[in-house]
Amino acid sequence: MDKPQDNKYFVHKVNKGSLNVNFFRQKEEKSRNTKRLATVITLQLGLRISEIITIETGCLDEIGGETMIDCSTGKLHSERIEVLKPANELVIEAINKL
């Protein structure tokens, strides 16, 4: 016995080029890239994740011919303290991509 095909119950395959699929892939890729960049910064500067999330736009400063990153830490104190750390090429590139 043939089932009647009612369009409201018919499931269409999602085209891989569809906008929704691409949107979620882009969000997933951006999330992966952010994690990779945070890992680079962590390994190069010895910062904790809680310190990395405090990094703001414009955090790179040129002081005495050396590029420094301005971040804050609360490691040994109850209040946040601004810290300048030297930023190498990997850190500069990671910051600029964020």
Closest CA to 75 of 41, 38, 94, 48: 48
pLDDT at 44 over 90: yes
The C-alpha atoms of residue 56 and residue 27 are separated, in whole angstroms, by 21
Does residue 3 lie in a domain region?
no
How high is the mean pLDDT of the chain? 79
Number of domains in the chain: 1
Quote the percentage of the chain above a pLDDT of 70.
76
Does residue 11 lie in a domain region?
no
Does residue 7 lie in a domain region?
no
Q: Give the domain extent around 92.
A: 16-97
> pTM of the prediction?
0.63
